[in-house]
Homo-oligomer: A and B are copies of this chain.
Amino acid sequence: MGDGAAEKVRPRDRILGTARDLFHKHGIRGVGIDAITEAAGTNKMTLYRHFDSKDDLIIECLRTVACDANAIWNQFEAEHPNDKLGQLQAWVRTVADGLKVDGRGCDMANAAVELTEDDHPARQVIKELKTAQRDRLVGLCRDAGIEQAELLADTLSLLLEGARVSRQSVGAEGPSAQFVRMAEGVIASFRNTARA
């Protein structure tokens, strides 16, 4: 029931999509393989034919998350061509909207919290993808003409990461509600600092 047109999607992609959704909502450790296959309208054997293990599925999910994030970055560039500062402001706005809409934070960060084993295969993937995101933000800040681009990018990163986890701890009315004001203030502060 209610499947309809979506049925044409390959089982692998259905599994990937629903797993990502369920992991996001209930946490990685809070979702079992059976729940994923059932929600994806398939079965356990098919899942294990496409993915070596749950860990493999987790990693593949994180990659699609990063892929979607990159698509949004590209959208910023398309909507504000040759306006790096506009792209940075779009980033702030978009990210702040996400904070209001979604109660759970960053899938990568959440995964890092949940998967506590130091040698978990997903850990290096998380580090890799998170670092790529940081690099992209640093590049944007640098292109926007900010002197201390790394420091601004890192500051914005921590503010965002903090806002997302704070939202999960104390809710949307907590400190995370001030994210836009903070981010814009920090950006303005860095733009005025030709001295330093």
Q: Is the CB of B134 within 8 A of A175?
A: yes
CB distance from A186 to the nearest CB of B (A): 8
Q: Does A64 contact B (CB under 8 A)?
A: no
| Contact across chains for B105 and A113 when beta carbons are under 8 A apart | yes
Which of B110, B154, B170, B181 is within 8 Å of A127, CB to CB?
Answer: B170
The verdict on A29 contacting B131 (CB below 8 Å), with A151-B178, A163-B158 known, is no
A46 interface residue (CB < 8 Å to B): no
Asked whether, in the complex, the Cβ of B157 is within 8 Å of the Cβ of A109, the reply is: no
A166 contacts which chain B residues (CB < 8 A)?
109, 130, 157-158, 161
The answer to whether A113 and B161 have CB atoms under 8 Å apart is no
Q: How many residues of A contact B (CB 8 A)?
A: 47
Which B residues touch A178, using CB under 8 A? 151, 154-155
Is A126 among interface residues, defined by CB-CB distance under 8 A? Answer: yes
Question: How many copies of the polypeptide does the oligomer hold?
Answer: 2
Give Cα A178 to B134, complex, Å.
14
Besides A29-B29, A126-B170, A161-B166, 12 more A-B contacts (Cβ < 8 Å) are A27-B29, A29-B30, A105-B113, A112-B168, A113-B168, A114-B114, A127-B169, A151-B182, A155-B178, A158-B182, A162-B165, A164-B165
Residue of B nearest to A181 (CB): B151
Note all chain B residues with C-beta closer than 8 A to A110. Answer: 113
Binary per-residue interface labels of chain A (158-189) against chain B in the complex, 1 for a CB within 8 Å, 0 otherwise: 11111111101111001110110110011001
Question: Are B116 and A169 interface neighbours, CB within 8 A?
Answer: no
Residues of B within 8 A of A104 (CB): 116
Verify if A93 is at the interface (C-beta below 8 Å from B).
no
Please determine whether B176 and A134 come into contact, CB atoms closer than 8 angstroms.
Answer: no
Question: Is A10 interfacial (CB 8 A cutoff)?
Answer: no
Counting chain B CB atoms within 10 Å of each CB, which of A134, A157, A176 scores highest? A157
